[in-house]
Amino acid sequence: MSNDFYTTSILPYSAIIIKICRVYSNSQQDFEDYFQEVCLQIWRSRNNFKGNSKKTTWIYRLSLNVCLTLLKKEDKYRVVHINSNNLPDRFIEDKQVFTDKDLSKLYESIKQLSEVDRAIITLYLEELSYKEIAQIIGTNTNNIGVKIKRIKNRLKKILTKNKF
């Protein structure tokens, strides 16, 4: 992965990737695994982006696909620790990403939603239009408004129940 690719294709979209990965991961370690897999997938699919949609839409869709696939595969993997000394070090950052208190609480509540609902509410909070959300999720635009209303109500209930 060249520095150019990292600077142009990962760094500007890192916020999107972080948000999506955080919604689907349960620990810092999971989060890091998801993040790296999304970055890798962006790199692998770099030639597949044809410019038919906005780059951000493509990144959202790709990130969601990777996270959902990993989520399904998770149980199949056996965790074995291997030292990896030959990995690119440009990603390495020791600070933790799970920091902000309110935001962490919100994330905890979002994680209690279904996989699809998590994606919808994340994209909604990212201020994407209903059309864009529908495009990414692969559903009808008309359903999105109703769904968001329901998800928000459910989220509020979870937040109240957990006294967040």
Partner 1 sequence: MEKSIEQIWKNGFLNEDLLIPKVKSLYNQKSISIVENIINKFKKQIFLLIPLGILVFIFNIILDNENAIFWGSISAIPCFIWFLIGKNQVKSIKEIDYKSNSYDYLVAVREKINQIRSFNKRLIITCVPLGFLPMLIYTYFNQQGKTIGEIFGVDGLYYPTVFIFLLIPILTLIAVLISNFLFKIISKNRTFDITSLIKEMEELSPKP
User: Which positions lie near partner 1, rule CB under 8 A?
Assistant: 1, 14-15, 18-19, 28-29, 31-33, 35-36, 40, 44, 76-88, 91-97, 99-100, 102-103, 105-106, 125, 152, 155-156, 159
CA separation for the pair 6, 24 (Å, rounded): 23
Q: Which amino acid is at 108?
A: E
CA separation for the pair 159, 152 (Å, rounded): 10
CA torsion, points 57, 14, 2, 41, in degrees to nearest 10?
-50
CB 52, min distance to partner 1, A: 26
Q: Given the complex with partner 1, which of 74 and 140 has the nearer CB atom?
A: 74
CB 126, min distance to partner 1, A: 8
Q: Given the complex with partner 1, which of 28 and 141 has the nearer CB atom?
A: 28
Q: Given the complex with partner 1, which of 52 and 99 has the nearer CB atom?
A: 99
Q: Give the chain's radius of gyration (CA, Å).
A: 17
